[in-house]
Chains A and B, each alone.
Chain A
Amino acid sequence: MAPEILLDYRPLWAVLISLVAAVLILFTGERRSNLREAWTLIAAFGKVAIVFSMLPLVLGGQVIEIAPIHVAQGITLQLRVDTAGMLFAALASFLWVITSFYSIGYMRGHHEKHQTGYFASFAVCLSATMGIAFSANLLTFFVFYELLTIATYPLVIHKRNAEAIKSGRKYLAYTLISGQLFLIAIIWTYITVGNGDFLAGGFLTLEHGSAGLLGLMFLLMTVGAAVKAGVMPFHGWLPDAMVAPTPVSALLHAVAVVKAGAFGILRVVGYVFGPELLGQIGAAEVLAWFAAFTIIVSSLIAMNQDNLKRRLAFSTVGQLSYVVLGISLLTPLGFLGGMYHIIAHAFMKITLFFCAGAIYVTTHKENISEMHGIGRRMPITIAAYTIASFGIAGVPFIVGFISKWNIALGALQGGYALYVVVLIASAMLASTYLLPLAYLGFFKKSDKFTEYGEARKDMLIPIVITAVLSVVLGILPNFGANFYDLATMAAQSIVQSIELVGGGW
């Protein structure tokens, strides 16, 4: 069942629109800030329109490609929209619109400096994310992957103080070194196979080398991607990168950047090596162990963090490993659950980060121990926080449940009951580290927060939207962008069978 290929330049426009916006933002500058923000919004709406205009085609089983840009024989840059790419692109472009409003509110409400560079870098990050989602081969993927690394750097060091510089260095050290390892593996693949075009189900086979060599190649590639996905022990940069302004943490460190890592693992597992080969060489199992370890340990660390953003960061580390775990199970429902968790976690975690930012801008509090009774002052924000927390803990009828349910079924499909235990334990841990704030906020009395004083409207509305969507998607997983169908189709194409044994949601 070869999908129909459609030649169309929309993927390229989706990548370029925010790049153009970044240039316009830089040249508009600080003085005409309204015009500058207009560029961000125009690009955000334009991007989401372009991406969603391709959605029906992809759902109809078509694959959209641009004509390849040849670099040399066998080495091409190419964009292609398939189901998995569409899933990630639709998510990131949609959340960028919401984050843009929130960003403007946050940056203005907080009187941040260097706003021009901030919005420009943000736009470049989104271009890179689209590029990652739509890359048709390993080289293109790597180009955008490194672009994302560089474009995120100015955001991490946004505060320009010693702490930010230190975090920036740490971030670069982790990402650049892993990027170079990734590069070696990519070039190696090109030498062995002749090209690096992603193919659902993988294009490497045992004919391309011994199990040991392929295992080493897999290791290099996954390390490259796992650093961005924050899989332990490569997670060190992520909590430190939380010195960035909160919208950055929200969109980039919960959605775009870290998910680019998780998406990279999906591409490597599902589209380069393929479940069959990985089953033969047993390399994915190692990845699953790391992911399971990360899920438990990061939750334990999260419990000890008083700084809200750091706590959320460790929660992100753990949640991303759900995605990695789901993928590395190599079972149909594992893939489905892993991919849907990219969506689910994005909506929930962005809500949580938005809340943390709203609290910070409104009350200048960063630590949970200082937030007693905050629910009286900011009831809507804390209510949204509570919903998202329940979602992360995996309560039914919130989006997180659907993905976890599928990952658990995927684990049983593969005969790994142990991972189900890990998932349950992690759900409990999540409620112990996320819910205390909701409890303290609503039920503890404090004389600090007596009067009602919510966050600015341009911050509050995005919070409500993402919180509501977390619930809606929990009941109707296909709402809006048919994310569930996309994930199902992608999982089917990777395991190359129509039936997803079991049935999922």
Chain B
Amino acid sequence: MREQLPALIVVVPLLASLVAPLVAYFSTALVRLVAIAAILVANISAIGSLTHALTKGNWHYHFGDWAPPWGIELVIDPLAGAIAVLISFVSLVVVIYAGPYLKEDGWLKKGIFYSLFALLTTGLLGMVVTGDVFNLYVFLEISSLAGYALIASGGNKAVVAAFRYLLIGTIGASFYLLGIGYLYAVTGTLNMVDLAEKLPLLMDSPAVIIAIVMLVVGLGTKMALFPLHGWQPDAYTYSHPAAAAFIAGVMGKVPAYAAIRFFFFIMGAATGPVYKALQIMGWLAAAGIIIGSLMAIAQKDFRRMLAYSSVAQIGYVVVGLAIGNSLALIGAVLHIINHAIMKSCLFLVAGGIQWRTGNVSVEKFAELNKKMPLTMGALVIAALSMVGLPPTAGFFSKWYLVLGAIEADMWFYVVVIIISSLLNAVYFFRVIENIYMKKASEEAKDKDKDKGKGMFELPLQMLVPIVVLGLGILVLGILNEPIVSQVIQFVIPGGGQ
């Protein structure tokens, strides 16, 4: 089994996805176990593959023993391994959390939910571990389709949001497909390693330049880079609350990871058209950081506020790529990891509040700390991390980004990041103020359709994931050294410092 680990990362959740509705027909308790077990296996396989990559070097796994460039190759390098661990971990946490949310649903709904959830996990993991750009497209579509369906299952408004995302997302994916089509036309290969060998000589060809533009638009749409983010706030806000944390936390990050793959591993970003493309993306991201934060301040719906905050936060990652020196790249990758944890945590909390009280509006959050002290504690930690205050994880990604920006003498980005921190403080402290300082109105108390009256906190299945992620933010903050020194330093092509 050991030598098949990379395949297990993708195959096991895929199988779980296929059998889920069938299992659900016989036992709804079992389908939950199957989903959790499958994602756990994926998680363990990802950890195993990462360890292998760290100790013995990059792992090239040939699917069905077909040698590339003809066969499909999975490549686990430290970056892919780390992101795969991250995705499967968040997925695992969220699937555990989903339990109480689905309690009242019938077998079909449960079966479909777990099936789609496992499929989404498969797609995202596949995008990360694959070594083939077309294969990446396939997994991108798998994850997108599962994502559309999960978003649409959130209720009436969600259907519209999902349809909008479906249209925009499909166009984005098509741009990506066209982009790799051009690359295939000039190089005759789809394998990443092969492409990386052949492309440097062709960087000035118009076809490659068009491919880069297509990739920027395609991946930019999928990661909701300003101004291609129109689909995102609605989709995150109205998606199925049990899956929102996974969708919002991770789905936007994987295209960002793909951008790092293309621009830094396959093409080389130091000079030429990629460099210029990244500069343009950097400016867009900077605008997105400011506008996303301002829009977040204007929101009353907690989930929508978080969604706009994601528009800003993905900007941090892209700014890191645009700065392009090793410190900024460390910052960008660290921020992918940190933000996935923070944003998932926040969406889990939002879902918890919604489950318990039915409220999503920040103004109605008064005195929640009395009902859910631990959940609110996690929210405060995550909020401080979003603002970027030490010693939380968010501070350290900001630290590296600013280090990189100052080293590169790009003071504009320093100013943008600092202003954004302060804007983050404005809207997160507003939430904290609402929770801890407002008095709940009598009317609100009466209408309180509290599902767990008198109960302390949320059910354990929901509480444990929230607390784990909340503590995770602190742990990532204080102990990020192993991640930076062992994993992320390999991110910089050529294994720089």
- Asked if B425 and A187 sit within 8 Å, CB to CB, the answer is no
- Asked if A72 and B422 sit within 8 Å, CB to CB, the answer is no
Interface of B is mostly: helix
A166–chain B nearest beta-carbon distance, Å: 11
Which listed segment binds B: A177-185, A221-229, A373-381, A421-429?
A177-185
Say yes or no: is B58 at the interface (Cβ < 8 Å to chain A). no
A224–chain B nearest beta-carbon distance, Å: 12
Chain A residues with Cβ below 8 Å from B396 are: 71
Say yes or no: is B481 at the interface (Cβ < 8 Å to chain A). yes
Which listed segment binds A: B18-26, B264-272, B400-408?
B400-408
Chain A residues with Cβ below 8 Å from B390 are: 142-143, 146-147
- Asked if B484 and A71 sit within 8 Å, CB to CB, the answer is yes
- Asked if A73 and B497 sit within 8 Å, CB to CB, the answer is yes
Other than the known A139-B399, A150-B389, A169-B429, what 20 A-B pairs have Cβ atoms closer than 8 Å? Answer: A70-B485, A71-B480, A71-B481, A72-B481, A72-B484, A73-B485, A143-B390, A146-B390, A149-B389, A150-B384, A157-B436, A157-B437, A165-B437, A180-B418, A180-B421, A181-B418, A184-B402, A184-B414, A187-B399, A188-B406
- Asked if B418 and A160 sit within 8 Å, CB to CB, the answer is no
Q: Which of B391, B418, B425, B437 contacts A183 (CB 8 A)?
A: B418
Say yes or no: is B342 at the interface (Cβ < 8 Å to chain A). no
User: Restricting to A170-228, which residues have a CB under 8 Å from any CB of B?
Assistant: 172, 176-177, 180-181, 183-184, 187-188, 190-191
What 3 pairs between A and B have smallest CB-CB spacing? A143-B390, A72-B484, A180-B418
* Chain B, residue nearest A164 (CB): B437
Question: In the complex, how many residues of chain B place their beta carbon closer than 8 angstroms to a beta carbon of chain A?
Answer: 29
How distant is the Cα of A227 from the Cα of B370 in the complex, in angstroms?
34
How distant is the Cα of A157 from the Cα of B436 in the complex, in angstroms?
10
A238–chain B nearest beta-carbon distance, Å: 19
B367–chain A nearest beta-carbon distance, Å: 11
* Chain B, residue nearest A71 (CB): B481
* Chain B, residue nearest A190 (CB): B403
Chain B residues with Cβ below 8 Å from A168 are: 433
Chain B residues with Cβ below 8 Å from A149 are: 389
Q: Which of A146, A154, A165 contacts B389 (CB 8 A)?
A: A146
Chain A residues with Cβ below 8 Å from B250 are: none
Chain B residues with Cβ below 8 Å from A154 are: 436
A333–chain B nearest beta-carbon distance, Å: 36
- Greatest chain A CB density within 10 A among B389, B480, B497 is at B389
B282–chain A nearest beta-carbon distance, Å: 19
Interface of A is mostly: helix
Evaluate whether A72 and B406 lie within 8 angstroms (CB atoms) in the complex, with A143-B390, A146-B390 already known: no
Chain A residues close to B by CB (< 8 Å): 69-73, 75, 139, 142-143, 146-147, 149-150, 154, 157, 160, 164-165, 168-169, 172, 176-177, 180-181, 183-184, 187-188, 190-191
Evaluate whether A72 and B389 lie within 8 angstroms (CB atoms) in the complex, with A157-B437, A177-B422, A191-B406 already known: no
Chain A residues with Cβ below 8 Å from B285 are: none
How distant is the Cα of A156 from the Cα of B478 in the complex, in angstroms?
27
Chain B residues with Cβ below 8 Å from A177 are: 422
How distant is the Cα of A183 from the Cα of B405 in the complex, in angstroms?
13
User: Restricting to B452-490, which residues have a CB under 8 Å from any CB of A?
Assistant: 478, 480-481, 484-485
Chain B residues with Cβ below 8 Å from A71 are: 396, 480-481, 484
Mind listing 29 A-B residue pairs with CB under 8 Å?
A69-B478, A70-B485, A72-B330, A73-B485, A75-B399, A139-B399, A142-B390, A143-B390, A143-B391, A146-B395, A147-B389, A147-B390, A147-B391, A150-B389, A157-B437, A169-B433, A176-B387, A176-B421, A177-B422, A181-B418, A183-B402, A183-B418, A184-B402, A184-B414, A187-B399, A187-B402, A191-B403, A191-B406, A191-B407
Chain B residues with Cβ below 8 Å from A72 are: 330, 400, 480-481, 484-485
Chain A residues with Cβ below 8 Å from B418 are: 180-181, 183-184
User: Restricting to B408-447, which residues have a CB under 8 Å from any CB of A?
Assistant: 414, 418, 421-422, 425, 429, 433, 436-437
- Asked if B425 and A176 sit within 8 Å, CB to CB, the answer is yes
- Asked if A180 and B484 sit within 8 Å, CB to CB, the answer is no
Chain A residues with Cβ below 8 Å from B481 are: 69-72
A157–chain B nearest beta-carbon distance, Å: 6
Evaluate whether A187 and B422 lie within 8 angstroms (CB atoms) in the complex, with A72-B485, A147-B390 already known: no
Evaluate whether A172 and B425 lie within 8 angstroms (CB atoms) in the complex, with A72-B330, A147-B391, A191-B403 already known: yes
Chain A residues with Cβ below 8 Å from B387 are: 176
- Asked if B422 and A180 sit within 8 Å, CB to CB, the answer is yes
* Chain A, residue nearest B483 (CB): A72
- Asked if B433 and A165 sit within 8 Å, CB to CB, the answer is yes
